[in-house]
Amino acid sequence: MRFIDEVVIFVRSGKGGAGSSSFYRAPFVPKGGPDGGDGGRGGDVILIASSQLTTLEDFTLNRKVSATDGNKGAGSRKSGKAGKDLILKVPAGTIIYNDETGEILGDLENDGEKLIVAKGGQGGRGNVHFVTSTNRTPRRIDPGGDAIELKIRFELKLLADVGLVGKPNAGKSSLLSALSDASPKIAAYPFSTIEPALGVVKVGEYGRFVLADIPGLIEGAHTGRGLGIRFLRHIERTRLIVVMIETSEENYTEVRNQLLNELHSYSESLSRLPKIFVRSKSDDEKPATNKSRMKFDHVISSLTGDGLPEFVDIVSKALNQQH
């Protein structure tokens, strides 16, 4: 499955069916009254959030979707059938925009949350409704409400509790893999991760938090360098950021400042999130050429497992303190 976090689609609701203009006819009743029934309502376009989905990929296959129109009314006061609603499942964490105006139509964060993005047209009234004291045989009907056509943009922001930030190759994916069932790509070269991955980390018997791994950040990411900062949106809604710096870095403080700077350039809110600083690959201890003395909150090795249980503790305590 490809990871897609932004997509534009066209939706159309159903048009309401027209009311019917009809008159009662029967043997020996030459001039019956009006009996034209109402048209059916047009189908709505409805979005429903699902926590099972983590990509918008499905929407790239079919970018034009439509609910069905309501049927016309008929004689004998028969109502037309309502159009069928179109129900689209989107991943929980999807924000819906009117692509033309930029207006936010909704933000579907929780599983099962619903949003009607395009309401179907009302069914038109049949001529039975138009009888007046002066007109007993009206031909008048309602044509039925119009369909709504809309260009909408989905933007997915994955929902996680903790976001991992670091330079490429810092060992972010290795940590996610060591702590959860997720199996992100791990490799000895930069930018091995090209899309975000989520993993559930268990804490004790009942606790858990969701950890998000995103592609590495390099200096100038906010100007589009490397894979850029596009993926930072996926950690915007986390509650805690883990900043990871690998042991063999020559200058920890410089790396830390670069990373914090990129976060800050992306958004104020990201920059304000609480942070835990972790030194990774502790097994990789090189001779102490490193001149910068930076105090880390914690030190780990995903390879040997050193410091991992404590890491989980520290993170879960920090999360609990926020409640």
Distance (Å, rounded) from C-alpha 137 to C-alpha 252?
Answer: 88
CB of 277 to ligand GTP, least distance (A): 15
301 interacts with Mg ion by CB under 5 A:
no
Judged by CB under 6 A, the residue of 283, 285, 310, 313 near ligand GTP is 283
Convert 2-44 into a string of H (helix), E (strand) and C (coil).
CCCCEEEEEEECCCCCCCCCCECCECCECCCCECCCCCCCCCC
Judged by CB under 5 A, the residue of 71, 127, 173, 282 near Mg ion is 173
C-beta of 72 vs 233, nearer to ligand GTP: 233
Segment interacting with ligand GTP (CB under 6 A) among 26-34, 37-45, 127-135, 281-289: 281-289
C-beta of 71 vs 174, nearer to ligand GTP: 174
Q: Which of residues 129-188 bind ligand GTP (CB under 6 A)?
A: 166, 168-174, 186-188
188 contacts which partner out of Mg ion, ligand GTP, none, CB within 5 to 8 A by kind?
Answer: ligand GTP
220 contacts which partner out of ligand GTP, Mg ion, none, CB within 5 to 8 A by kind?
Answer: none
Distance (Å, rounded) from C-alpha 27 to C-alpha 55?
Answer: 63
Query: Taking CB under 6 A as the rule, which mask of x and - marks residues 207-226 in contact with ligand GTP?
Result: --------xx----------
258 contacts which partner out of Mg ion, ligand GTP, none, CB within 5 to 8 A by kind?
Answer: none
Vertex 254 angle, CA 270 and 171, to 5°? 70
66 interacts with Mg ion by CB under 5 A:
no
Comparing CA positions, the residue from 46, 22, 51 lying closest to residue 36 is 22
CB of 198 to ligand GTP, least distance (A): 14
C-beta of 258 vs 280, nearer to ligand GTP: 280
- Residues near ligand GTP (CB under 6 A), total: 24
Judged by CB under 6 A, the residue of 256, 279, 281, 298 near ligand GTP is 281
Convert the chain into a string of H (helix), E (strand) and C (coil).
CCCCCEEEEEEECCCCCCCCCCECCECCECCCCECCCCCCCCCCEEEEEECCCCCCCHHHHCCEEECCCCCCCECCCECCCCCCCEEEEEECCEEEEECCCCCEEEEECCCCCEEEEECCCCCCCCHHHHCCCCCCCCCCCCCCCCCCEEEEEEEECCCCCEEEEECCCCCHHHHHHHHCCCCCCCCCCCCCCCCCEEEEEEECCCEEEEEEECCCCCCCHHHCCCCCCHHHHHHCCCCEEEEEEECCCCCHHHHHHHHHHHHHHHCHHHHHCCEEEEEECHHHCCCCCCCCCCCCCEECCCCCCCCHHHHHHHHHHHHHHCC
Query: Taking CB under 5 A as the rule, which mask of x and - marks residues 128-167 in contact with Mg ion?
Result: ----------------------------------------
193 interacts with Mg ion by CB under 5 A:
yes
100 interacts with ligand GTP by CB under 6 A:
no
168 contacts which partner out of Mg ion, ligand GTP, none, CB within 5 to 8 A by kind?
Answer: ligand GTP
190 interacts with ligand GTP by CB under 6 A:
yes
Q: Which of residues 109-128 bind ligand GTP (CB under 6 A)?
A: none
55 interacts with ligand GTP by CB under 6 A:
no
Name the residues that contact Mg ion, by CB under 5 A.
172-173, 193
Point out which residues bind ligand GTP (CB under 6 A). 166, 168-174, 186-188, 190-193, 215-216, 280-281, 283-284, 301-303
